[in-house]
Amino acid sequence: MSARDPVLTRPLDDPTLWPLVVGSDAFARRGYVWGESKGLHYCIVNPEKLDIGVFRRWSHLVPWFATAAKDRNAPVVTNGSQMRLIWDLQFGTVVAILATSTATAAALGAALGAFIGTITFPLVGTLGGGYLAALLATIGATEAGYVTLALLGYSATPFGSVVPQPPGETQPSPHTHSWHFGRSGSGFTAYRIGPGEPTGLQVGSGGLTGLLSNGRTLRRASTPAGRIYRNLMGRRVDLVAWGLRPWELENDPDLRDAAEEQAENYGNTIPWNGVLVAVGHDTWSNGTSATLVRAGVTDAVAMDGNQFALLGGGDDLVIETTIFADWIARYGFEAT
């Protein structure tokens, strides 16, 4: 059984979803519930029961970010800050570096194999230069690719500060137009999404991309954040986001009645002020952002996208990083 079960099928922007969630036995007991509709995956989190934290891929020697995320065994886990490669290398340059390093290693391996194949060894004779050249070329190319990616991942830094600062890691110079997500304490009112760094927060991360502010997308914003948003929406890439969905439960009869039905399971963790929403889609567009607006999400921020996007619960990932991003990505968010 997946940590995401049971998975709701009601659309996120269906007004009847929220009383259904609040009145859910699973949500009241566990503090989260998953859903999926029309390719949009979402996890609704009760911040009165669960806290959002930042995790770090625990070792450069075990590089797989997706594996590290699964190992958290959290109800919901996502990727986090965009990563800046050394010398601000872009993806095309990285591909060229990988191609050069693997081709060089393959050529050296092939040459070595061919040379060894000319040697006659006692008892066994020759080893077959053609086969040995192919084998060493493959091994050389594979190892060169791994070493190149490992070095790139080791030298990469997040685009924004991570709070609390991990031991032994120097905080980078923040990206001018990045946003942050984090919390100053526990409970819904402690969470914050907005431009800049996670200053004054107990837990959080910068280096993120703004999607929603005060109940509107940034589509028409004339700011640099608006331009970044429009460029991102035009690319229609894999994307994962965190959002704030506020409400006044005691003034909403449907939500209040649903909560009262589960009073025993909630105890003192009724979400009076709102919930957190983690959302992911493999071709995110402005229409996806508009779905969050219709769902009542007021503020939202995107994690690093495309190959770096990751969303799941337990060891069940519905959106997963590619092998390239697995070596580079380092930080993510989790509910605990």
Which pLDDT score is estimated for 323?
Answer: 76
- In Å, how far are 65, 97, 189, 327 from 61, measured between CA atoms? 11, 21, 38, 10
125: pLDDT confidence band, cut at 50, 70 and 90? Answer: very low
Query: End-to-end alpha-carbon separation of the chain, Å?
Result: 19
Number of other CB atoms surrounding residue 169 within 10 Å: 12
Which pLDDT score is estimated for 147?
Answer: 62
- The answer on pLDDT for 224 being more than 70 is yes
Tell me phi and psi for residue 118, to 5 degrees.
Answer: -90, -10
What's the rounded Cα separation, in Å, for the pair 327 and 316? 20
Lowest mean pLDDT of 28-42, 153-167, 253-267, 315-329, name the range: 153-167
Which pLDDT score is estimated for 327?
Answer: 77
- The string of pLDDT tens digits covering residues 74-97 is 999 999 987 766 555 565 565 565
The first and second tokens of residue 144, run together, are: 């060169």
The pTM of the full predicted model, rounded to 2 decimals, is: 0.84
Amino acid, single-letter form, for residue 149: L
Percent of the chain with pLDDT over 90: 60
Angle between helices 91-116 and 129-155 (to 10 degrees): 150
Between 166 and 207, residue with greater pLDDT: 207
- The answer on pLDDT for 152 being more than 70 is no
Which pLDDT score is estimated for 104?
Answer: 65
114: pLDDT confidence band, cut at 50, 70 and 90? Answer: low
Across 39-62, average pLDDT: 88
Q: How many residues does the chain have?
A: 336
- The string of pLDDT tens digits covering residues 310-332 is 999 999 999 999 877 777 788 99
Tokens 């605990």 correspond to: 336
Across 282-291, average pLDDT: 96
143: pLDDT confidence band, cut at 50, 70 and 90? Answer: low
- The answer on pLDDT for 60 being more than 70 is no
Q: Please give the mean pLDDT across all residues of the chain.
A: 84
Number of other CB atoms surrounding residue 168 within 10 Å: 5
**Segments making up each domain of the chain, as ranges:** 7-84+165-335, 91-154
CB 12 within 8 A of CB 288: no
What's the rounded Cα separation, in Å, for the pair 101 and 92? 14
Which pLDDT score is estimated for 120?
Answer: 53
Whether the link from the prior residue into 6 is cis, omega within 30° of 0, is yes
Which pLDDT score is estimated for 91?
Answer: 55
